[in-house]
Amino acid sequence: MSPWWVFTVDTNTASRYILNMFKEHLTKGKASRAQIYETAIRLFRERGFDDATMRDIGAELGGAASAAYYYFKSKDAIVLDYYDDVQRRHEVLVNEMLEQEKDLSRRIAQIHHLKLDILKHDRRIMGALLRYAGEPDSELSFFSVKTSGLRQAAMALFARALEGADLPADMLSVLPLLLWAAHMGVLLYFLYDKSPNQKNTRALIDRGTQLMTGFLKVAKNPLLRPIRKRTLEFIHDSGLIEAAPAH
Amino acid sequence: MSPWWVFTVDTNTASRYILNMFKEHLTKGKASRAQIYETAIRLFRERGFDDATMRDIGAELGGAASAAYYYFKSKDAIVLDYYDDVQRRHEVLVNEMLEQEKDLSRRIAQIHHLKLDILKHDRRIMGALLRYAGEPDSELSFFSVKTSGLRQAAMALFARALEGADLPADMLSVLPLLLWAAHMGVLLYFLYDKSPNQKNTRALIDRGTQLMTGFLKVAKNPLLRPIRKRTLEFIHDSGLIEAAPAH
DNA sequence: GTCTATAAAGGGATAGAC
DNA sequence: GTCTATCCCTTTATAGAC
């Protein structure tokens, strides 16, 4: 049996949740965080990131721009929330897929494909994410310390895809990073892909993962042990494999 | 002997050059393009890209912001000019270096190092270049069609470094692209490098190029011919090797 | 024709009232 | 939490100086 205080905490949490729902209904017509988020993303999709202004978002909800600023630090912060959302939806789809698919090459390819399915109509929104990539100290940079959790989660998906694969432990420790880096490359390629339905990116993914599994087979060869060891040490020493974020 | 028209073209080019020098002297004291450019870069360095405003740049020259807009399409366009400048200075240094250095691994490493020497104190300016990377249709994106020439020039330096190396022709055709991609990675690593004097990036370059030449030796092995062929075809079909820009 | 100044549009972000 | 008012920024329009 749980001690009495567990019950207490749970009711507190529950009532806070109900209170929030209640509040949302009370302030109907006004903007809640979720409403602002959804309106913003819709307008970004419809008009493009730059042409959808914060004033537009506020007006759409019958209010002022500054309402949005209460919930979001900046316009770009909304996009970061979007990427968070994408990551969560991606995780659900990938976990489902990994239950079914057992072929290593296809498991990896599908991780890329499922992300593209989510982002298919949001390439312009995605592009806005790159805006702060060049500012190491910005919270909005997706290479910054602040967004470490997001990167960890993305790499964890590749780690899951590799489970059960016949690979030495040392290679398993660096592959999620390499596959994630490749994924960043795929997304950049996707962003610039002018082919109908971005079919070039789709083909790139399939051929690329086939090639990658070919490399893995070769890399396991005992003759290549020295250079494999050097490579793995190089990657470890680069510092790019981040410690898991503190809880 | 050169035909007569080579002479004609040369004098035309030369006289245009002299005319430009002359014009620069004529407008001395006024805010010329070069003055605006240099003031802008200096302010970007001193205050950061965002905190140095176009008004500041104009004021510094005793004028208004719009003076700068006559010469530069936008604030960011100044940074693109800066990168153009960096590329030219890099070419000079690399060509000098390649005259002296004959070891393949060090030739490649030095290309990276020399770029870092130029950019050493301008990491914040560099970061601003990433701002438009997510907008494929922007002229300011350094992955766009408009900046193709800049990428070509950068890859050409790696191609020069590979001259005389004992490598099959098929590998030579894709290596400049791969080395340039690695260079982009180096620059991103450099941008985020918090170690004193960015010594981590320097070490990464040296170990990375050593590793790369190791890979090249391995890749030449006849046993790996099939996978090497597949890899090269993959890269060619990716479409990332651009045609040389039209003249 | 080449350049510069003034004015203002329009956007992101903030302060403080309520 | 949301509003109005406001600040400061980039960028454009336009008039006119050299």
Asked if strand C contacts B53 at the CB level, meaning under 7 A, the answer is no
Are A65 and A79 within one domain? no
Answer yes or no: is A3 within a domain. no
C-alpha separations of B130 from A52, A81, A176 in Å: 22, 21, 25
Half-sphere exposure of B232 (CA within 13 A, CB side): 17
Residues B58 and B129 in one domain: no
Which of A53, A73, A93 represents a domain boundary (last residue)? A73
Tell me how far the alpha carbon of residue B43 is from its chain's centroid: 22
pLDDT at A5: 43
**Does one domain contain both B67 and B150?**
no
Give the minimum alpha-carbon distance from B128 to chain A in angstroms, rounded to a whole number: 6
pLDDT digits (tens, 9 = 90+) for A136-162: 988 889 898 888 999 999 999 999 999
What is the CATH number for A14? 1.10.10.60
Q: Is residue A4 part of a domain?
A: no
Asked, for residue B130, whether it belongs to a domain, the answer is yes
Taking an 8 Å Cβ-Cβ cutoff, which residues of chain A contact chain B? 124, 126-131, 133-136, 143, 188-189, 191-192, 194, 200, 204, 207-208, 211, 214-215, 218, 224, 227, 230-231, 234, 237-239
The answer on A94 and A27 residing in a single domain is no
Task: Pick A145 or A13 by higher pLDDT.
Answer: A145
Residue B5 lies in a domain: no
B70 CA to D17 C1', in Å? 15
Residues 6+ apart with CB under 8 A from B87: B150, B153, B154
Surface-to-core class of residue B173, CB atoms within 10 Å of its CB (0-12 exposed, 13-18 middle, 19+ buried):
middle
* pLDDT tens digits, A64-105: 999 999 999 999 999 999 999 999 999 999 999 999 999 999
With CB atoms and an 8 Å threshold, state whether B136 touches A227: no
pLDDT value at residue A139? 86
Residue contact B143–A237, C-beta within 8 A: no
- Binding residues for strand D (Cβ < 7 Å): A 23, 27, 30-32, 58, 62-67, 70-71; B 50, 52-55, 65-66, 69, 73-76
Option in A192, A224, A231 nearest B136 (CB): A192
Residue A11, pLDDT above cutoff 60 = no
Asked whether the beta carbons of A107 and A97 are under 8 A apart, the reply is yes
Q: How much is the average pLDDT of A175-202? A: 98
The domain of B234 spans 75-247
Would the CA dihedral through B113, B118, B120, B125 be positive or negative? negative
Helices marked H in A120-168 — which ranges? 123-129, 148-162
Whole-structure pTM value:
0.88
Q: Is residue A211 within 8 Å of residue B234, measured between CB atoms?
A: yes
pLDDT at position B201, please? 98
Is the pLDDT at A125 greater than 80? The verdict is yes
Q: Are residues B184 and B231 in the same domain?
A: yes
Mean pLDDT, range A118-145, rounded to an integer: 92
- Computed over every residue of chain A, the mean pLDDT equals 88
In a domain, B106, yes or no: yes
3-state secondary structure of B97: helix
Question: Are A136 and B200 within 8 A, CB to CB?
Answer: no
Residue finishing a domain among A52, A73, A94: A73
Chain A residue numbers touching B130 (CB-CB < 8 A): 130-131, 133-134
Residues A177 and A204 in one domain: yes
Round to whole Å and give the CA distance between B141 and A199.
23
**Same domain for A92 and A54:** no
Residue A3 in this model has a pLDDT that exceeds 80: no
As a whole number of angstroms, the distance between CA A68 and CA A74 comes to 9
Residue A200: list chain B partners with CB under 8 A: 239
Q: Which of B48, B42, B72 is nearest to B60 (CA)?
A: B42
- Are B81 and B56 in the same domain? no
Instruction: Enumerate residue ranges in chain B where pLDDT < 50.
Output: 1-18, 24-29
Q: Indicate whether A134 and A24 sit together in one domain.
A: no
| Domain co-membership, A93 together with A66 | no
Nearest-angstrom CA–CA distance, B191 and A2: 51
The tally of domains found in chain B comes to 2
Q: How far is A146 from chain B (nearest CA, A)?
A: 13
Q: Which among B41, B56, B73 is the end of a domain?
A: B73
Same domain, A83 and A149: yes
Judged against a pLDDT cut of 50, whether residue A18 lies above it is answered with no
Q: What CATH number is given to the structural domain containing B222?
A: 1.10.357.10
For the stretch A23-76, pLDDT in tens is 444 444 456 899 999 999 999 999 999 999 999 999 999 899 999 999 999 999
Q: Which of A135, A206, A240 to mutate to test the interface with B (most CBs of B within 10 A)?
A: A135
Nucleotides of D under 7 A from a protein CB: 1-5, 8-14
